[in-house]
Amino acid sequence: MPVGPYLYCKCEECRFHAEPIRLLFPSLAETTSDLPGWPRGGWPIHILCLECGHLYAYTLQDVQWRPFPPTDLSSHPWWFRVSFRCETNNCGVQAKLYTPADVGATWEHVSGLLAAETCTGKLLCGHAISRLAKEKYSYQRVRGPLID
């Protein structure tokens, strides 16, 4: 069975606190002894959970590996990378976050989540994520490893 990287949502009330969130990886290992030295640099990264709406920073130590049945391998076929500038106190720091995209997920769904009161968390600059107008965000679909 192929082995792939995953992590758990850090929100204890979220169903993904107990269920793994698969991370994108270009070639899955066949066994745990074949694991590549990944992730390497570019971490921590910020991940917004589509289930609970919380934003957390994840480090290399949060990434785990396990076998996934073939039916689970396409549960998140891509992710969204969302970029924007922190506007708290005219901070201006470029912020970037990732969120998994279930089959059929759209940018409208993600932007709605970013606008919701339940969307909470701190950005790399230390400010709380704030609600911005949709046009202030840029996004792209990501099909490869998540790195900043």
Q: Residue 22 has what pLDDT?
A: 84
Amino acid letter for position 77: P
3-state secondary structure of 143: coil
Q: Is residue 139 a contact partner of residue 91, using CB atoms and an 8 Å limit?
A: no
Q: Label the pairing between strands 78-85 and 64-67.
A: unpaired
Write the burial class of residue 108 (CB in 10 Å: 0-12 exposed, 13-18 middle, 19+ buried).
exposed
Q: Residue 40 has what pLDDT?
A: 67
Phi and psi of 56, rounded to 5°? Answer: -135, 150
* Chain centre distance of CA 77: 13
Q: Is residue 134 a contact partner of residue 117, using CB atoms and an 8 Å limit?
A: no
pLDDT means per 10 residues, the chain with 148 residues, are 86 92 70 62 84 90 81 66 93 92 77 85 90 87 74
Write the burial class of residue 100 (CB in 10 Å: 0-12 exposed, 13-18 middle, 19+ buried).
buried
Phi and psi of 144, rounded to 5°? Answer: -120, -170
Q: Residue 43 has what pLDDT?
A: 78
